[in-house]
């Protein structure tokens, strides 16, 4: 059983999500994103990246890129490899500060990873509309300032939010214009017995404002084992609703 749980923890499942929104800029066509969270101690596998159906327009790291004891060169290798697939943006998670945070931020800057700390990132749009990715900082430390990220995206026509902790959902109202939230942190419970775990298994949740995708995450914490909550990343395609 332990061997199976170890294998599950090192799997490379690529979840596919195709989402349509009535207010997504029609002329933009598709927006394709790779979302990966909670890498922790893992090395991003070529087997995972080979499962992407196409090059993403954007790669979103949902926090916990690292943790205590992870060599900086492993972190560099991971973000550099992801960066070969497209532009990379990320937010910090609760375990990232266990690393030397100044060295981590310096590395991210060197590797052209855009760290969003209660800021917005404009996604290039063929339509001329402003598609904005909001990055909200880690909630555990009280660093989260959703209002600052919203203010930074005040001219946005369509908003996506990236935050490590899924509890950010409690702060989001329909009038914010946020249509999709990407989160990790829970690992889907990581080890689930008879279908039960400390946290709900990761999935896409329908919300009054749109949807929230909570990932099982790619790595593990404490024990390099999984059961009932497979390691995963997500390839997300967003389009406008089809016009009849």
Is 119 in contact with 133 (CB distance < 8 Å)?
no
**Homologous superfamily of 2-240:** Metallo-dependent phosphatases (3.60.21.10)
* Domain ranges within the chain, ordered by starting residue: 2-240
Per-residue pLDDT of the chain (244 residues), as tens digits, is 899 999 989 999 999 999 999 999 988 899 999 999 999 999 999 999 999 999 999 999 999 999 999 999 999 999 999 999 999 999 999 999 999 999 999 999 999 999 999 999 999 887 788 999 999 999 999 999 999 999 999 999 999 999 999 999 999 999 999 999 999 999 999 999 888 888 899 999 999 999 999 999 999 998 999 999 999 999 999 999 875 4
């Amino acid at each position: 059983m332990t061997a199976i749980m170890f294998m599950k923890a090192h799997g490379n499942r690529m979840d596919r999500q195709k989402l349509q929104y009535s207010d997504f800029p029609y002329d933009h066509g598709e927006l394709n994103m790779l979302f990966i969270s909670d890498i922790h101690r893992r090395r991003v596998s070529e087997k995972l990246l080979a499962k992407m159906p196409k090059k993403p327009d954007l790669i979103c790291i949902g926090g916990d890129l690292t943790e205590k004891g992870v060599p900086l060169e492993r972190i560099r290798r991971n973000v550099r490899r992801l960066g070969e697939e497209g532009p990379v943006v990320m937010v910090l998670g609760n375990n990232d500060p266990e690393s030397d945070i100044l060295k981590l931020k310096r590395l991210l800057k060197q590797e052209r990873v855009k760290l969003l700390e209660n800021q917005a990132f404009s996604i290039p749009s063929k339509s001329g509309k402003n598609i904005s990715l909001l990055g909200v900082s880690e909630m555990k430390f009280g660093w989260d300032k959703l209002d600052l990220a919203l203010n930074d995206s005040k001219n946005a026509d369509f908003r996506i939010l990236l935050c490590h902790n899924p509890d950010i959902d409690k702060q989001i109202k329909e009038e914010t214009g946020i249509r999709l939230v990407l989160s990790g942190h829970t690992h889907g419970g990581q080890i689930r017995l008879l279908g039960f775990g400390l946290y709900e298994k990761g999935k896409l949740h329908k919300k009054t404002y749109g949807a929230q995708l909570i990932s099982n995450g790619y790595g593990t914490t404490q024990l390099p084992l999984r059961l009932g909550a497979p390691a995963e990343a997500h390839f997300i395609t967003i389009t406008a609703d089809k016009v009849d």
